[in-house]
Homo-oligomer: A and B are copies of this chain.
Amino acid sequence: MTTLDEDLEDAAAASGGPVHPGLRRARAWLSRAVEPGTVDLWRYVDDHGPVEAVRRLRDGRAPDTVRSLIGARAEQDGTLADLQRAERCAARLVIPEDDEWPHLPLHALTLAVAAEPDERRHQTERTKALVPPLALWLRGPGRLDELVDRSVAVVGSRASTAYGEHVAAELGHQLGERGWTVVSGGAYGIDAAAHRGALAAEAPTVAVLSCGVDRPYPAAHGALFARIAETGLLVSEWPPGSAPLRHRFLVRNRLIAALTRGTVVVEAAARSGAQATARRARDLGRSLLVVPGPVTSAMSVGCHELLREGELGAQLVASAAHVIQAVGSFGDDLAEPASKPATARDGLSDLAARVLDACPVRSGVSPERLAAVAGCDVLEVLRVLPALELADLVQWTGTGWRLAPPPKVRAGGGSGAAP
């Protein structure tokens, strides 16, 4: 068994090829040594590379301003224990040097951290700073970059009402059904309802935690987290065993916003964290989508506040179709846009486009359900389905209608293929 410092030395000497174990170990060390959201530490790692940064932090060559962020933890090394603990619960550490790293969504954080001033006292405080993660602990079979490529955050109050939970579950279900990944925080209330809705649609869902992926919080959600980890992902910036400290929730929230194309707020009390959620989404260039509710419900007051504040650019959404309309585009939702005659989709009537948008990716559904989702009546659905089927846009499964699978990529079309 090599020591951390030997591994780092090896990694520093290595060039090219697959990710060196020392590199992964350097990132594991950073994930325990420093709380995420620290601007100066992230910059130091960015400047020197993770291996060199860790070596300098450990042998005292790093400047005091950076070293002070780590303190006594500089001498400790729990990396092997952390990596082994992760392995025991089928978790893994994914780092920016891996193919799976979601570079594109996280780019917004890279831009944001670049805009932070140099002097620490002028920087955004750590719980609010938009700083990219240094590494992510993942548990579950999902591939992170693929899962978040078409994803939406569904968040809201822990003290939710039956109405809010119903709406979150229904959104989660319909988004899942239509091939969108629901990302949330695994908390009580809206978060859990959204995850459960997605699971009910047999869609993978992603819970971004503020504790170790082997130690889900709240404990009462143990079964829920286990189900999420069967098909989707539990994600955390903190190494296995980490406790869900209060300030970590705030730091975690930036990841939920950054990983997704938009954030849907389902219920929020007056002057709750909803304003912060909204500003973060806006600062990251993400859509902020808000579900209204009864004006008599205290749990919708925060949502209505968001919708009344024009400056935030919040959009009212009342259905999964509205969400997809906001975060996706019709072209995006079909792979290989060039492989079908442009006219097949471009020529669709509003009604046909709505019905098509209502079709799930996986299991087929009845025309009645399509009508409910598309917001039209069943006769209208029955009128447009034949045309959609003729255009190879939808498919009858024997029990219901779903989107037709994208056609196979034509062979030999890529450049650099073997002759």
Number of interface residues of A (CB under 8 A): 22
Tell me whether A292 and B316 are in contact (CB under 8 A). yes
Please, what's the 1-or-0 string for A309-328, where 1 marks a CB less than 8 Å from any CB in chain B? 00000011111001000000
Q: How far is the CA of A293 from the CA of B316 in the complex (A)?
A: 12
Please, what's the 1-or-0 string for A281-321, where 1 marks a CB less than 8 Å from any CB in chain B? 00000000001111110001100100110000001111100
Tell me whether B316 and A308 are in contact (CB under 8 A). yes
Chain B, Cβ-Cβ closest to A310? B315
Q: How far is the CA of A291 from the CA of B316 in the complex (A)?
A: 12
Residue A70 interfacial (CB < 8 Å): no
Chain B, Cβ-Cβ closest to A318? B295
A163: which B residues are within 8 A, CB to CB? 294, 296
**Smallest CB separation, A290 vs chain B (Å):** 10
A375: which B residues are within 8 A, CB to CB? 270, 301
Residue A207 interfacial (CB < 8 Å): no
Tell me whether B304 and A292 are in contact (CB under 8 A). yes
Residue A359 interfacial (CB < 8 Å): no
**Smallest CB separation, A292 vs chain B (Å):** 3
Residue A166 interfacial (CB < 8 Å): yes
Chain B, Cβ-Cβ closest to A326? B308
Known: A308-B316, A316-B316, A318-B304. A167 touches B270 (CB 8 A): no
Tell me whether A295 and B308 are in contact (CB under 8 A). no
Which A residues from 396 to 418 make CB contacts under 8 A with B?
Answer: none
- Tell me how many chains of this kind the complex includes: 2
**Smallest CB separation, A78 vs chain B (Å):** 47
A291: which B residues are within 8 A, CB to CB? 295
**Smallest CB separation, A174 vs chain B (Å):** 12
A316: which B residues are within 8 A, CB to CB? 292, 304, 307-308, 316
Q: How far is the CA of A296 from the CA of B169 in the complex (A)?
A: 12
Chain B, Cβ-Cβ closest to A303? B292
A322: which B residues are within 8 A, CB to CB? 308
Q: How far is the CA of A60 from the CA of B163 in the complex (A)?
A: 67
Chain B, Cβ-Cβ closest to A171? B295
Chain B, Cβ-Cβ closest to A316? B307
A167: which B residues are within 8 A, CB to CB? 295-296
Q: How far is the CA of A166 from the CA of B294 in the complex (A)?
A: 11
Tell me whether B307 and A295 are in contact (CB under 8 A). no
Please, what's the 1-or-0 string for A38-73, where 1 marks a CB less than 8 Å from any CB in chain B? 000000000000000000000000000000000000
Chain B, Cβ-Cβ closest to A307? B316
**Smallest CB separation, A114 vs chain B (Å):** 32
Tell me whether A308 and B315 are in contact (CB under 8 A). yes
**Smallest CB separation, A322 vs chain B (Å):** 7
A315: which B residues are within 8 A, CB to CB? 308
Chain B, Cβ-Cβ closest to A270? B375
Tell me whether B319 and A295 are in contact (CB under 8 A). yes
Tell me whether A295 and B293 are in contact (CB under 8 A). yes
A307: which B residues are within 8 A, CB to CB? 292, 307, 316
**Smallest CB separation, A264 vs chain B (Å):** 11
Q: How far is the CA of A375 from the CA of B270 in the complex (A)?
A: 9
Q: How far is the CA of A375 from the CA of B302 in the complex (A)?
A: 12
**Smallest CB separation, A119 vs chain B (Å):** 33
**Smallest CB separation, A20 vs chain B (Å):** 51
**Smallest CB separation, A87 vs chain B (Å):** 44
A304: which B residues are within 8 A, CB to CB? 292, 316, 318
Q: How far is the CA of A411 from the CA of B300 in the complex (A)?
A: 51
Q: How far is the CA of A295 from the CA of B373 in the complex (A)?
A: 12
What are 16 sample pairs from A and B whose C-beta atoms fall under 8 A apart?
Answer: A163-B294, A166-B296, A270-B375, A292-B293, A292-B300, A292-B304, A292-B316, A293-B294, A293-B295, A295-B318, A295-B319, A304-B318, A307-B307, A308-B316, A308-B317, A316-B316
Binding site for B on A (CB under 8 A): 163, 166-167, 270, 291-296, 300-301, 304, 307-308, 315-319, 322, 375
Apart from A292-B300, A292-B304, what 6 extra A-B contacts exist at CB < 8 Å? A291-B295, A292-B293, A293-B293, A294-B294, A301-B318, A308-B318
